[in-house]
Amino acid sequence: MQEERHLSRTPTPNGRPCRSPSGYVAGRVMPARPPPSPGVTSHSVQWSSSKAENQATFITRGNEQWRETEAARKRRRKVKNSLVCVSICLGLFFIVLAVVFGTNPGSERDENCPDHQLGFTNWDPGHNELKRVVIGKGDRFRLVSSATLHSIIIQQGGVLVFADSADGSKNISLKCSYILVRDGGELHIGAEKCRYKSRATITLRGRSNEGEWSPSFGRKFLGVDSGGTLELHGALKTSWTLLAKTLPPSGLEFGSYIERPVTRGLNVRVVDQDTGQVLLADRFDTHDFANESKRLQKLLQSQDVGRIIAIAVRDSAAKNLLQLTKDTIQELLGSGLVQDLSYRQAWALVGVIGAGNMSCDESVRDYENHDTGGKAKARKEFVTVDGVRFAVSASSQWKKGIPQAEFQVNVSEGFVLELLDEVQGWEMGDRLVVASTDYSMHQAEEFIVLRCPECTSRQIMVTGKAQFLHVGEIMDGIDMRAEVGMLTRNIVIEGEMEDSCYGDNWCQFFKHDTFGGHLKILKNFTSVHLSNVELVHMGQQVMGSYPVHFHLCGDVDKLGGYSSPTYVDSIAIHHCFSRCVTIHATNGLLVRDTVGYDTLGHCFFLEDGIEERNVLFHNLGLVTKPGTLLPTDRNDAMCSSILNNVYGNYIPVPATDCKAVSTFWVANPNNHLINNAAAGSQDTGIWYLFHKGPTGESHGLLIETKAELTPLGTFYNNRVHSNFKAGLFIDKGVKVSNASADDPREYLCLDNSARFRPHQDADPQKPRIAALIDRLIAFKNNDHGAWVRGGDIVFQNSGFSDNGIGLSFASDGSFPKDEGSSQVISESLFVGESGNYGSQGGQNKYWGVGGVEGKNRTLPRDKTFPIRGFQIYDGPIHVTKTTFQNYVATPVRFTSAIGFFLKNPWQLTPKNSFSLLKFDTKVALRVFFGKPGPWFEGYDFDGDKNEIFHDVDGSVTGYKDTYVSRMDNFLVQHPGCKNVTSWFGSVCSGKYAQVYIQTRRPQNLTMTIVRDEYPKYPMRLRGINQRADFQQYQPVVMLEKGYTIHWNGRAPEETFLYLINFNKGDWIRVGLCYPKGSDFQIMADIYQRQNSTAHSVEDFQKVASLEELQNKPGQRKYYFDNGAGLLFLMLQARHDREGHSYCSTQGCERVKVAAVMTTQGVSNCMPAAADPTYSVTPKATVAMPPPSSGKCEGCGASRLAFTSDPYQTYLRVQIQSLGKTGTQQGQETSFISVNGTRFSFGDKFYMVTVDACSGMVTQNVSFAKADAVMANYLENGISARSIVLLGSKDTIGGDVDAISKKTGPTGHCQTCTTS
């Protein structure tokens, strides 16, 4: 048996200082921000009131203001006359009346509670669906009972509060078509310092085709307009946490069991009492054969005491059931019925070996007229060693002449979930959801909380049984613990729904009604705070109608004049029909501890690209499904059939126009995502995209939006899993123009024009600011754990596991548009396939062999998809201090730690680099370049051919300062290179760069480039822009070598050659093929990309020989061999290059060749290039280094566990305890491993103790058997605050039970905290 655990040890201190204000220099990793504190400080918010005349003043009054307001109101009630005493008496009289009649009877007055305030009138409007209510000036109503109304408008200082009771029994339901709060009106249910205790439900009624329609709010809404106040504060509940222990399918480790045997006789099942696993299934035909009876007797006698036995008769079993066997059954299992078993009698028994008749449950049914008149049933409940209650049942019957038998092993009613955190307020009857931890989000499951007096504060009991595996562990170093979200709150806002879809509500896509209620807040509201509220059946497939919608509100924090910044806190939004929380042209909003589950369209939605400074803290989104509203919300069917807003006959392309629905949709990078979980979306978990300008209703509000250039806000400790497209996606934008003949696509469809290029102050002339992705956990995403385009971008402290592709970096763009940025990842972990095998079902499509152990498991794409850890697309990228593990191929699938983008037409740079990497022994392919076949197809795109990276320190190849390329790329090789055939790669020394070749007239030529030293091995490049008016090629070249270039048609009239990644003095010689008799005008200049200008223009002069040209490499000379048709140039860099820039500090050095040709023949000079005149013997310019020797010091990530609770440090513990079976299967050693340090042991007990605070191993001892010596050590030899790890090999001897008592409860580890 092998078990791996990650044990929580100690909190870690906060991190290092923030970034330097000096800006980011390309190639330098910016300092990491410190981790945010464990929680966001709660805003100080008191229940508030405001007068109509103050509606434009953004304040929230506290307790003192309340008392002042009340005093003012009392003073206004006094009669103004000269009889001062009478006035005082009347004032006192009215105050007494207010106290007597205006407070809740039976409760002690609390000034923090809105329903306890003076001056309110108890309100019981009754039930009248046609009654319209306006609560206006002077109206202060306390709703004391349920009501049904047409609508409520609260305005001009009117106030409505919901009555509460101390014992939480005053439950109130309010039904109406809409509620509008505006112009000084206020609606309160509870307050931050006086949580509502009872149950309050607001039900919004109406159909989409009936009733009033408001221009600002639509139908079926709770709306807050200018001057309105909405304060909703339910009872405190922990919003969500993580599982702390794996929940297996059915709740049992080995699953539930059900079988209906078809064989005659006594059918027997042997069940493990510790796990509920069925160990043996057998049948004994004791009707015909006495030997079968003897065999049964031997089986029962061989079982250990405590083993569970289930027996069921099918057909008949009595004829040859021997007396000795009956006696054995009676003696061992306590049966009282077996002695009298008769012909065709139905009998079922469940008992425990050696436990007597008190443990036995059995029954019989007599056979008569081919029937037994019902089942003989037996059922007993047991508890596993993990505390799971399960039932074993057996049944037997005859029914209409057919014998039947059945066995079941299932979790009993209710099972316990072990939780990471202590949960507050989770009560019997509450509904919760456990997230999927597999590739399909549809494996999320709902449960109902049961009463459980014996549960701790970190345990809850729930009904039903799990259908799927929900991981509750840190597996192979990656935190895969499932999120557990609480869906129930005692304040509920819900939409009243029809039984099915109707009218024009997109019923072709939805069978259910999608016209729910919605909550909308407009700008200039007075105060809005929502906490611990449940929203269900909210949202509409109508633009602007969402469960929670802040619409064009501007700044809603202190910058907007709100002394108590606006927040949405601990809201449960579930089974809703359009998004979760929409932040629309709104800045400074805090959304915290909010759960969004089973919703349509983008869930947490930042809409128009101008939203900034919003904080999304510790939110959970899961099961985010497609919707119809925006192209990016839609799936395939919706995308191709919703044609209202396209131009002409255009049919949208789902893969490029739509299919982007995301749990977190972030349209501006200057927002803060901290501690969030995106636990399942149809497409993407977190998507950062970049609007070219303000869109939607924000169009025109700002002159210019620079989302692409805006630095990233805080991204810290977020987790993404169970998403189909990607966990994290940073790329693309949306189309910001209406559909037209020039571009028929729909407005706001997905667009590929945006690139993330963060600069200080969003100014491209100022230093670049690296975007920091700190502590991302990405697992079980079908396609990508993360896809990131742009630069500069830095990942650190991140973990990737079980993704189709762990992480892909793509550059800002192709040269010459990209100014030369970089992406870096460090201190991270990539796991190919973990111990999370997954579960079939829940729309998981692929199941097959995989993983280290070669077992069946769920798969990300299909059985042949080439799994990769880190994928290179173009570059430059740098991967350092990173660990790779568990990348194992199968007979039908390549699997590699490092791979490349498939079918890649794009550029690659030799500046891609790796250093300080660690590969565990379970990585079969460190690198794989590809191979023609499935997924790779012809493997012949330009990018495919130029794949390359730099192994800086030899931690990949074993050869320091070498470059790794395709084995068939002879532009970059020399005779000393080392081929690695399994990688299809070659490891070479040398210096490398790129040449960017741009050609015009004609524009779609195929270019062939060949190195002088390898004329038989040319490289053919088709170019990148097949539809452009020019073509571009970007071969990687070895410096200080000669190359010739040829064409499949007449040579281009105009050719530019840019020196890419050339340092000062670097050179190559180039020969371009032209027709004989061609004339040339050749010039050099330095091109500035920022303003598309050139300077330092120089003309080339012709020389008479190649030798003369080569003797003057730094001069502007050319030589044309008219006989061979080859124009020779020396391309040498004159200026230094800085950082990751492609070009020099002065700009891009380039050469332009304009040719005048008199013939139209094909310009292919390959025969001449192969002539001895130009071909030379290959040799290395830089000698190959010797192989690295010794261990790679400092390689790999420093941490072994990557978790979502950064303030805990974990020990990685692995125990392998072998029995006879394991030894026979070839496993050799039993061991205990602590953070990678292995302690092996033989046929004995072995114990390792670890200090729970420091994580250091303190002792390791062995014992031959369980005896007094071992017992004494356990009792007296172990220091306090120790973690004890105990293993054994093969058969163990001695008094094991006595030793078990000394070890205490299993499954718990002592922890402590140090300062």
Residue 1031's pLDDT is what?
Answer: 92
The residue with greater pLDDT, 85 or 749, is 749
pLDDT band at 818 (very low <50, low <70, confident <90, very high): low
Give the residues across from 142 on adjacent strands.
Answer: 122, 161
pLDDT band at 387 (very low <50, low <70, confident <90, very high): confident
How far is it, in rounded angstroms, from Cα 1246 to Cα 1273?
Answer: 12
Q: Which amino acid is it at 858?
A: T
CB 499 within 8 A of CB 518: no
**Residue 1134, exposed/middle/buried by CB under 10 A (0-12, 13-18, 19+)?**
middle
Residue 425's pLDDT is what?
Answer: 97
Residue with tokens 């270039």: 1045
Question: CA-based diameter of the chain, in Å?
Answer: 125
CB 1062 within 8 A of CB 1114: no
The residue with greater pLDDT, 1255 or 613, is 613
pLDDT band at 813 (very low <50, low <70, confident <90, very high): low
- Structural tokens at position 200: 């309050």
Residue 1296's pLDDT is what?
Answer: 65
- What is the rounded average pLDDT of the residues 1105-1131? 95
Residue 47's pLDDT is what?
Answer: 34
Residue with tokens 């791996």: 4
pLDDT digits (tens, 9 = 90+) for 265-307: 999 999 999 999 999 999 999 999 999 999 999 999 999 999 9
pLDDT band at 5 (very low <50, low <70, confident <90, very high): low
pLDDT digits (tens, 9 = 90+) for 242-254: 999 999 998 898 8
Minimum mean pLDDT range among 255-259, 1024-1028, 1234-1238:
1024-1028
pLDDT band at 1043 (very low <50, low <70, confident <90, very high): very high
**Residue 1089, exposed/middle/buried by CB under 10 A (0-12, 13-18, 19+)?**
middle
How far is it, in rounded angstroms, from Cα 197 to Cα 947?
Answer: 64
How far is it, in rounded angstroms, from Cα 732 to Cα 1109?
Answer: 47
How far is it, in rounded angstroms, from Cα 518 to Cα 1123?
Answer: 80
Residue 25's pLDDT is what?
Answer: 32
CB 127 within 8 A of CB 148: yes
pLDDT for 84 beyond 70: no
**Residue 289, exposed/middle/buried by CB under 10 A (0-12, 13-18, 19+)?**
middle
Q: How many CB atoms lie within 10 A of CB 1160?
A: 9
Minimum mean pLDDT range among 795-804, 1055-1064, 1095-1104, 1217-1226:
1217-1226
pLDDT band at 8 (very low <50, low <70, confident <90, very high): low
pLDDT digits (tens, 9 = 90+) for 693-727: 899 898 877 667 789 999 999 999 999 999 999 99
> For residue 691, is it left (φ>0), alpha (ψ between -120 and 50) or beta?
beta
CB 604 within 8 A of CB 664: yes
The residue with greater pLDDT, 328 or 1310, is 328
633-637 long-range contacts, Cβ below 8 Å, gap at least 24?
Answer: 633/600, 633/601, 633/602, 633/658, 633/660, 633/661, 634/658, 634/659, 634/661, 635/659, 635/661, 635/682, 637/509
Give the residues across from 268 on adjacent strands.
Answer: 282, 311
Q: How many CB atoms lie within 10 A of CB 1077?
A: 12
Half-sphere CA count of 735, side-chain side, radius 13 A:
22
Residue with tokens 């007296």: 1276
pLDDT digits (tens, 9 = 90+) for 415-458: 899 999 999 999 999 999 999 999 999 999 999 999 999 999 99
pLDDT for 101 beyond 60: no
Candidate ranges 251-260, 1020-1029, 1239-1248; pick with highest mean pLDDT? 251-260
pLDDT band at 956 (very low <50, low <70, confident <90, very high): very high
> For residue 346, is it left (φ>0), alpha (ψ between -120 and 50) or beta?
beta
Q: How many CB atoms lie within 10 A of CB 15?
A: 16
How far is it, in rounded angstroms, from Cα 320 to Cα 295?
Answer: 12
Q: Which amino acid is it at 931?
A: K
Residue 1242's pLDDT is what?
Answer: 84
pTM beyond cutoff 0.85: yes
Residue 4's pLDDT is what?
Answer: 62
Does residue 792 have a cis bond before it (omega within 30 degrees)?
yes
pLDDT band at 36 (very low <50, low <70, confident <90, very high): low
Share of the chain above pLDDT 90, in %: 76
pLDDT digits (tens, 9 = 90+) for 1164-1186: 999 988 888 899 999 999 999 99
How far is it, in rounded angstroms, from Cα 707 to Cα 731?
Answer: 12
What Rg value do the Cα atoms of the chain yield, rounded? 37
Mean pLDDT of the chain: 89
pLDDT for 1314 beyond 90: no
DSSP state at residue 904? -
CB 1095 within 8 A of CB 1069: no
Candidate ranges 19-23, 195-199, 843-847; pick with highest mean pLDDT? 195-199
Minimum mean pLDDT range among 552-561, 795-804, 870-879, 1260-1269:
1260-1269
**Residue 1301, exposed/middle/buried by CB under 10 A (0-12, 13-18, 19+)?**
exposed
Q: Name every residue whose Cβ is closer than 8 Å to that of residue 853 and which is 6 or more positions away in sequence.
A: none
Residue 17's pLDDT is what?
Answer: 34
- What is the rounded average pLDDT of the residues 126-153? 98
The residue with greater pLDDT, 1143 or 132, is 132
Residue 1109's pLDDT is what?
Answer: 96
- What is the rounded average pLDDT of the residues 1076-1082? 97
Q: How many CB atoms lie within 10 A of CB 277?
A: 16
pLDDT for 20 beyond 80: no
